[in-house]
Amino acid sequence: GIQVEQSPPDLILQEGANSTLRCNFSDSVNNLQWFHQNPWGQLINLFYIPSGTKQNGRLSATTVATERYSLLYISSSQTTDSGVYFCASLSGSGTYKYIFGTGTRLKVLA
């Protein structure tokens, strides 16, 4: 099945800074999604982005399915952006099983 690699594994930012998180996939990307896990463990769906670019406020995401990667941009970071960011993709054709990356742990300092 598909392997998902996320980078960087850890990131510390000063409030107001911008950042880019990346997901690389070993195989075809399907139904790619980005999630934010808050300090209480809740996984929040940020973007459903099989391809192309989407923006939601200070966050935007781009998926280049042909090159098997996706990027999440965070601009003007805030302390509430802290947490762990995961990307996930279907593991292959003919299945609805989603595979998650190991996450990027973000800490935004005031």
Partner 1 sequence: DTGVSQDPRHKITKRGQNVTFRCDPISEHNRLYWYRQTLGQGPEFLTYFQNEAQLEKSRLLSDRFSAERPKGSFSTLEIQRTEQGDSAMYLCATPGQANTGELFFGEGSRLTVL
Q: Is 40 in the site for partner 1 (CB under 8 A)?
A: yes
Q: Element (H or E) spanning 46, and its range? A: strand 43-48
For the chain, the maximum distance between any two Cα atoms, rounded to a whole number of angstroms, is 46
Residues 70-99 that bind partner 1 (CB under 8 A): 86, 88, 90-91, 95-99
CB of 44 to partner 1, least distance (A): 8
Amino acid at 8: P
**Residues with Cβ < 8 Å from 52, sequence gap 6 or more?**
62, 63
CB of 75 to partner 1, least distance (A): 23
List interacting residues with partner 1 (CB under 8 A). 4, 31, 33, 35, 40-45, 48, 50, 86, 88, 90-91, 95-103
